[in-house]
């Protein structure tokens, strides 16, 4: 059977075409409209308001990553990422109002779902050269318990923000401790091996997160919630530490074209 243009274009083969087309249309025309209507016209409690903003941010993020998985051009994601980060900032703002806590972090790093999301939100501005968004991402947990308390996050932020601490411990050492090994002052071969080990360990370690194995439940009516399985953090580390990714660039979870895009222009200062 001849592959469809979608099957030829998609970056991961697990994304089903009928599911993608329905879900993409449904989210854009219905889900987002419902959220915006509730935010503009609904008499929402403080709790419901921040939850609706968080739902909006999550939908925008997952829609963007789903489009990346489907093979959309990388250039368009540079602008879309700004809207995603702004939506998470809105969610953080209203969460702090609800909690009456001005430094309440939007993400709880003790929960893997939250940790993976925030690591991705730090990594994507690096890969897409939206360095201007890094302070905004940092603002989502600035001053809260996770701030200056996670080694991998601090290592990534420290390439752009001043006076970040050097740490050795992570909220999620399994599997992120393996990736952290690649940031040490070790030979190129060891860095390559560490990233390759991380890539193999990453998905099995995701068991228990909300989207684990969601590709198995895709249906033409939009069930499943699958948006792709990507280690944006591994690509960010490979880029920042100038690691030759030849040995692992074909790994199914490694976003090689984002790593290539990052290397296509110099790292900007903020």
Residues 218 and 58: their CA atoms lie apart, in Å, by: 19
Pair of tokens at residue 179: 């990736």
pLDDT computed for residue 63 by the predictor: 94
Asked if residue 29 has pLDDT above 90, the reply is no
pLDDT computed for residue 74 by the predictor: 96
Q: Domain residues of the chain, as ranges?
A: 5-263
What's the average model confidence in pLDDT over 34-41?
Answer: 90
What's the average model confidence in pLDDT over 186-193?
Answer: 97
What's the average model confidence in pLDDT over 228-251?
Answer: 98
pLDDT computed for residue 196 by the predictor: 98
Report the Cα 89 to chain-centroid distance in Å. 15
Residue 262, phi then psi, degrees to nearest 5: -60, -40
Pair of tokens at residue 162: 């001043």
Asked if residue 226 has pLDDT above 80, the reply is yes
pTM for the full predicted model: 0.96
At 270, the pLDDT band (50, 70, 90 cuts) reads confident
Tell the CATH topology of 5-263.
Answer: PA2201 C-terminal domain-like (1.10.3920)
Angle between helices 232-240 and 256-263 (to 10 degrees): 30
At 224, the pLDDT band (50, 70, 90 cuts) reads confident
Are 74 and 128 contacting, i.e. CB atoms less than 8 angstroms apart?
Answer: yes
Model pLDDT for residues 151-187, shown as the tens digit of each residue: 999 999 999 999 999 999 999 999 999 999 999 999 9
What's the average model confidence in pLDDT over 47-76?
Answer: 96
Are 50 and 94 contacting, i.e. CB atoms less than 8 angstroms apart?
Answer: yes
What's the average model confidence in pLDDT over 5-31?
Answer: 92
Residue 14, phi then psi, degrees to nearest 5: -75, -15
At 23, the pLDDT band (50, 70, 90 cuts) reads confident
Query: CB within 8 A of 232, min separation 6: which ones?
Result: 119, 120, 123, 124, 127, 255, 258
């Amino acid at each position: 059977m001849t592959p469809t243009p979608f099957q030829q274009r998609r970056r991961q083969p697990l994304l089903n075409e009928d599911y993608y087309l329905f879900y993409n249309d449904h989210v854009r025309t219905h889900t987002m409209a419902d959220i915006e209507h509730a935010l503009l016209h609904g008499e929402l409690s403080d709790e419901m308001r921040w939850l609706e903003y968080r739902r909006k941010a999550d939908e925008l993020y997952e829609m963007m990553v789903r489009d990346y998985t489907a093979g959309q051009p990388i250039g368009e994601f540079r602008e879309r990422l700004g809207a995603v980060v702004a939506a998470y900032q809105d969610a953080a703002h209203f969460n702090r109002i609800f909690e009456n806590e001005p430094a309440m972090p939007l993400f709880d790093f003790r929960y893997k779902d939250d940790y993976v999301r925030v690591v991705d939100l730090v990594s994507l501005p690096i890969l897409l050269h939206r360095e201007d968004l890094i302070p905004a991402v940092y603002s989502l947990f600035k001053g809260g318990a996770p701030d200056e308390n996670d080694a991998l996050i601090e290592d990534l932020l420290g390439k752009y923000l001043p006076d970040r601490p050097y740490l050795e411990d992570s909220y999620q050492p399994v599997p992120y401790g393996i990736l952290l090994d690649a940031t040490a002052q070790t030979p190129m071969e060891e860095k390559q091996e560490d990233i390759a080990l991380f890539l193999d360990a990453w998905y099995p370690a995701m068991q228990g997160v909300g989207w684990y194995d969601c590709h198995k439940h895709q249906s033409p009516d939009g069930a499943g919630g699958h948006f792709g399985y990507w280690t944006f953090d591994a690509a960010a580390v490979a880029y920042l530490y100038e690691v030759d990714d030849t040995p692992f660039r074909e790994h199914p979870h490694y976003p090689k074209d984002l790593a290539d895009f990052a290397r296509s222009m110099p790292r900007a200062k903020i």
